[in-house]
Structure 1
């Protein structure tokens, strides 16, 4: 109950209010500054202090929208509002909650009062800002941003003079006002401690909202972290600074064949051998990152699997000491496959890319196509430049391994002492200069796919022994290592040498020869398929003229004849280089003729035994050579050729028939 002191003060409030309303004078001795300023604001807003019914409320639809928008505030505040009501339950108080705009969004308490004083903007949906109903605890608290208690005649509007109200702003995460909590009742029932209770409740609401938002963020972050851990396509293991496993994701569990309950709380030693465990613990102890290095994990079945691992220490920000460690890893095979894609370890050519219509090339393609349907070892035999790698790639792309790596190694292009390490890999410290952490060999990189061993006739004998063992066991052991690594690789070998002769000379192992010679395929030389030369000429002219932006108007028959009469020791590779040279030097818009051939081909463009040489020749050979050379020089003009040769045209025709030179006169 208000004591005599508060009743006396209220009489002073009435006197001050009347003086302000009638004359606009502020009696500072009778009224607080905060109330005086509020009265002046209310007057500026045009609020009528004598208005008996002040109505400013939301429609049902607008209120529902505002209510939903404030639902988090309402749910948090309601328990505190009920507690506050219980404290003042017998004193006829109403507890209200407004949003930041001054609209009442919840109201509990003495419903008889709400019903009796309904016109006082107490119920839900009403607005209680100063601009609407003048000085009041909620509206003034919104204006000044501070808790306040307004009693009796301190209210600007007369109809509120029988009321007392205490209000306190509720602040959000950034200390912005998000609502106001108030307790309102008859002025004679007000108590000085009411404001303190409202302030305590409002602050508790704000703190709980902040805490719940923080907890929601943490919960969301934890869910996201768990979802990320479980969904990433690589293993992830978290340990403390002693190596005790605290967390392990789905990929790692499946990879190691473990259940979560089997491994959590165990030491990392359970899935690492002693050597790798010691390496890891050294990194944990010195706080250094262990990045992209190879270690072996032990699975539940006891199998050792090579993995590429990154170990990241978690450091305490204050002490910089290691608190824990995060392991991320992928199986080495997966990393190797990715590396192969990046560096281009894949086959690009197919059988459709092999040019030619000759019987010999068609037969080679037929055999290669049959071989591609099997998983047998293939030996490609042929001179340099006949397209053995092209065949190897086409076989791979036609096989069931087409989506796996295609790895190439030229056994004759690297130092003999390095062939073994290139093929089978090596472990750390295997030899001077060995890479830290070791290095996988070509067989590991080709796992699941095809390895193409070109110029296998140049492979050192000691490496041949190891290769034979790999072909028989389908397993490799890195140089300097002990771990047996199973592989699934299809081998295609190639050579320009006569391997049978190399076996006889002791340069090639006989058992390896028979292991490789399961499916021999000969790639024919260009001399054996001269009918395909024109196809190659047209193909390479189009290719290089387009690349060099040259306009080649056409190709004269003499150019084709000159190219076909050459013996092509370098096969298709040499022909390609010749066309590239010709297209480089020819003027734009020219027609290619005999004169555009390289000089070495002009002097030796006849089949072997028909060029100008220093050896002794018969008269018939000299005559044949002279006729061929003359016809070529005049671009097939037989009338002109007969004049130059000093013989009749009919005689020239007979000699062409005699020496079978129809291909020259075409």
Structure 2
């Protein structure tokens, strides 16, 4: 309801208290206006701005008009009708988009002079962020009809107006824009029912938009259906209640070696012939069939297919005879055909890309290794980024697979990329993809990157320390924004990817050298897991050797039953600079060379013999002549780590304090 002159003066007084005295408490205004004033203040809107300076160019307005043509087409008749009813009261009517830009304004010269003074014109932006409290911006902000009178406007330049606005929605209740009526404040008293009129007009516009959408959908339905049918790799046949073919894609025609024009409108039994009894039996059963394997006859012999059949009826099962003239009440059936050979190739491609390692496959009882496994298990329960630290060959890739397979993303894609193995000029397109024409040799139609393909899944970036600095900046942006943009593209693609990275470098040192971005490191290292080298967990070597012998013997079809004790001693005494990968290769070598069922010392490579009694040049290496030496050194290491706190050391070693004291006495540790 419009304000009288006394109320207007009171509103002016409140406006001045807020803007001159910065008073915010005990202000007697509506909650919507109060909240809008507060938002306007937070947006930094200047209440004393003489007019709206945010006006886009004619070209930009033309683009927005084109983008909102459906809204404008539906709104213009209603706007013209309202204006014809209210023009004697000097109203103007406008339609704004969902960002607050005025797309179209209808009003006579007086109205334009009046409202044009503060630039309430086509192309101007009247969102709250730009002009503070006003009817257009408020309707967008609160998503409901509203009125703003006089000094309820946040900016003084608009205080001579009375405005009525209603948001317009699409069929999914998204805001498309705002319908607005505005007049000089002095005429507002003649417009008690104006807001109701605007609401009715907005509803009419929404109904017109819904009709436009339905009409356009009907026009495009057949085109879309055909496009969908031709876009799938399977053969598709749709039939009516008499099993006359109503739709068939070219893929099905190619599979069955039939001509599209010769089968449309014909009964499927006439098209396929009576020698295809297996398929006809499926149709006659009236049952839903999934993954049935059958042979179908073609011009060049029978082919093997997987068939899905979905009867289109309201009952679960209907039995009928294809030759019967009196078919039961049905609306038809849909057949999906997969060529077995192609189907298997696709399945193998998908399955082959899936990580195979789970936590149960990680072999090792060493406390430091189990500590890393426990950390990885906890990491798998989150979606945070993980960085795996460790030397080459310790199994960082296996940890990455296990984390993915134990996470909620286990059924989603997993992609592993070695940053050091891809040429510098290709790694960006490999990770982020590219559009057609992005560079010389770019594939027609472009190509998605691994981040795009891994959406909802995980991506493993091995040897992250080798990533070029310029690409590090791109990766950081992807992690921060959770979006990618293909090379040569403009479309921002949202992604949801869990990143697991790994490195054998000390990234803190690389940061000091200027080779690695510190901000990227902190993004990657939300959860940091250090995997110990094999020389620090030699007690696990026997179990690893047993596993590798069993696995490799099976693969090579060998029957290795025993390991010479001297071989195990040499394996335990070696410092394994190549870690588990080197150990596996050594075991595979001696299995290949062995003529008997026992692995003997003479089969070992020379480097193992040379390092039996001397310490490796590696600064972390240490001589471990026996299992006792390994145990002694482990106890000393943990005592040092926990500053000789016996309780903490025993707990870390997972033994009792009494056992720890006995072992310390045994090895002379004080």
TM-score under structure 1 normalisation? Answer: 0.43
Larger radius of gyration: 1
TM-score under structure 2 normalisation? Answer: 0.42
